[in-house]
Amino acid sequence: MPARVWRRRALQAGLLLTVVALFAVAFLNARANLLSRGIPTSFAFLDQVAGFSINQSLIPYSPLSSYGRALLVGLLNTLLVSLLSGAFATLIGFAMGFARLSRNFALARLAAAYVGIVRNLPLLLQIVFWYVVVLAPLPGPADSHHFAGFFLNNRGFYVPGLSVAQGWPALDWPVFDPALNPYNVEGGWRLAPEACALILALTIYTGSYIAEIVRAGVQSVPRGQSEAAAALGLSAAQARRLVIRPQAMQVILPPLISQYLALTKNSSLAAFIGFADLMQVSGTILNQTGAALQVIALVMALYLGLSVLTLAAVRLYERRLRWGGRA
């Protein structure tokens, strides 16, 4: 093996060892300082009783549950908001991206106005707008807006959920029955107002960026591709589906991944409206236990895990398309 290769590998190994050593020294120094001040350095606090309530939970939770379970609830809430917002933002973004390229002047101008306005308003302002201006004034359960089994009031958005009755899964429909409970809707699955406001804001905000990504991706495909498709007798819809979209997706996918990652991280703004996402729950745990190093390390690891899962999911989609002959 050439000497320059050995030197390059030795330099890389030395750099890696230096970085690891710096992290080890920082960790040991922080641990020593925490121990000297009587601050816990283990993760035993995760088994202690949390003692606080959470306004949205996908799994059974009460103030008597552990800090570990509270952290899991916050993680699941972040996943819920990210998945729903990502799905809706993709639909809106692709629709508006194609609308911007429409030959219909009014439709194209409307899509351009949506992108221009939404992208230039701070996301936090939009979250507060949906929560304070739109959702907070909603009526109580007795005067809920309801349609086809869906209820919307100041307690949240109620949709049919799954329940297991006598060993069989069945739809559990929300219903307001004053005789049963005059103060709330019973049954179904509830999405808290804070979650609704966050999903609406993230969806509309991220959708505006996706719209521009889609527009740029479609415009990157040479015009001759559309002309060739028309010459082969393909309709406009077939040309978009079979010719334009596969080529445009190669340009769209990389920045689209960045938007999905940014959406997940932007969900941490939920703390400003009191939604119990991963960041808000971890902040409460940190304040109560004082285990700053452990809590921050856990949150960093969990957000990193969410990013890795997002990248893995997109990679699976990329393999399915088999671009460039790669599996």
Overall average pLDDT of the 6-25 stretch: 85
Q: What percent of the chain clears pLDDT 70, i.e. is strictly above it?
A: 95
Task: List the alpha helices (DSSP H) in 67-192.
Answer: 67-100, 105-119, 123-128
Threshold 0.85, pTM exceeds: no
pLDDT in tens, 93-104: 999 998 998 888
Q: What is the pLDDT of residue 282?
A: 92
Answer whether residue 220 is part of any domain: yes
Helix (H, G, I), strand (E, B) or coil at 301: helix
Residue range 201-212: mean pLDDT, rounded: 95
Residue 193, pLDDT score: 92
Share of the chain above pLDDT 90, in %: 37
Q: Rounded to whole angstroms, how far apart are CA atoms 73 and 183?
A: 26
Q: Is 221 helix (H, G, I), strand (E, B) or coil?
A: coil
State the DSSP code for 151: E
Find, among 151, 143, 196, 142, the residue nearest to 173 by Cα. Answer: 151
293 within domain boundaries: no
Q: Which domain holds residue 212?
A: 88-275
Residue 102 has what pLDDT?
85
pLDDT at position 165 is: 60
CB 153 within 8 A of CB 145: yes
Q: pLDDT tens digits, residue range 38-90?
A: 776 778 889 999 999 998 888 899 999 999 999 999 999 999 999 999 999 99
Please count the structural domains in the chain.
1
CA distance 244 to 97: 14
- Place 183 in a pLDDT band, splitting at 50, 70 and 90: confident
Q: Is residue 62 part of a domain?
A: no
Higher model confidence: residue 184 or residue 133? 133
pLDDT, one tens digit per residue, over 209-259 is 999 999 998 888 887 777 777 777 777 777 777 777 778 888 888 889 889
Which spans in the chain are helix H?
3-36, 67-100, 105-119, 123-128, 193-219, 223-231, 236-239, 245-266, 278-289, 292-321
Cβ atoms within 10 A of the Cβ of 232, count?
A: 11
Q: d(Cα 256, Cα 249) in Å, to the nearest integer?
A: 10
Of the candidates 198, 191, 206, 200, the residue with the CA atom closest to the CA atom of residue 273: 198
Mean pLDDT of 3-25: 83
Q: Contact 159/174 with Cβ under 8 angstroms?
A: yes
Query: Residue 154 falls within a domain, yes or no?
Result: yes
Give a yes or no: residue 46 inside a domain. Answer: no
Q: What is the pLDDT of residue 327?
A: 38
In a domain, 4, yes or no: no
Residues 79 and 224: their CA atoms lie apart, in Å, by 42
pLDDT of residue 14: 85
Averaged pLDDT of the chain: 85
DSSP 8-state secondary structure symbol assigned to residue 135 = I
pLDDT at position 326 is: 42
Does any domain span residue 305? no
Q: What values do phi and psi take at 277, rounded to 5?
A: -90, -175
What separation in angstroms does the CA of 157 have from each of 81, 188, 190, 194, 210? 14, 10, 6, 10, 26
Residue bearing tokens 């000497």: 3
CATH classification at residue 157: 1.10.3720.10
Rounded distance between C-alpha atoms, residue 137 and residue 143, angstroms: 12
Place of tokens 């049919």: 160
Instruction: Please enumerate, as own/partner, the contacts of 300-305 that have beta carbons within 8 Å and a separation of 24 or more.
Output: 302/75, 302/278, 303/264, 303/265, 303/278
Is the separation of the CB atoms in 88 and 207 below 8 Å?
yes
Residue 64: CB atoms within 10 A of its CB come to 9
Task: Name the CA dihedral angle for 299, 307, 70, 54, rounded to a multiple of 10 degrees.
Answer: 110
Q: What is the pLDDT of residue 167?
A: 62
Residue 66 in domain: no
Number of residues in the chain: 327
Q: Helix, strand, or coil here: 183?
A: coil
Mean of the pLDDT values across residues 136-147? 87
Q: Write down the pLDDT at residue 120.
A: 92
Please tell me which of 30-34, 186-190, 243-247, 301-305 the model is most confident about, judged by mean pLDDT.
301-305
The CA angle 245-249-254, to the nearest 5 degrees, is: 165
